[in-house]
Amino acid sequence: MEKMMNTKTEGNTFTKKIGQTVYVVRYHFNENAKETMQEKINRML
């Protein structure tokens, strides 16, 4: 069975194919953030 998917996305995206599955990842972030992503991850851990 073939699935149709809408590939039109807004913002920043990237795709990753693992096996026969293609993942489309959409991400967003605050342009005015004062901490880096690494700092944010460390804070959450």
pTM for this model (two decimals): 0.43
Supply the pLDDT for residue 23: 94
User: What gap in Å lies between CA 41 and CA 18, rounded to an integer?
Assistant: 25
Q: Are 13 and 25 in contact (CB under 8 A)?
A: yes
Supply the pLDDT for residue 10: 58
User: What gap in Å lies between CA 45 and CA 30, rounded to an integer?
Assistant: 20
Supply the pLDDT for residue 37: 84
What are the residue ranges spanned by the domains of the chain?
A: 12-44
Supply the pLDDT for residue 27: 83
Helix (H, G, I), strand (E, B) or coil at 5: coil
Q: Which of 13, 32, 40 is nearest to 24 (CA)?
A: 13
pLDDT digits (tens, 9 = 90+) for 1-34: 556 566 555 568 889 999 999 999 988 878 888 9
β-partners of residue 21 are 18
Supply the pLDDT for residue 44: 93
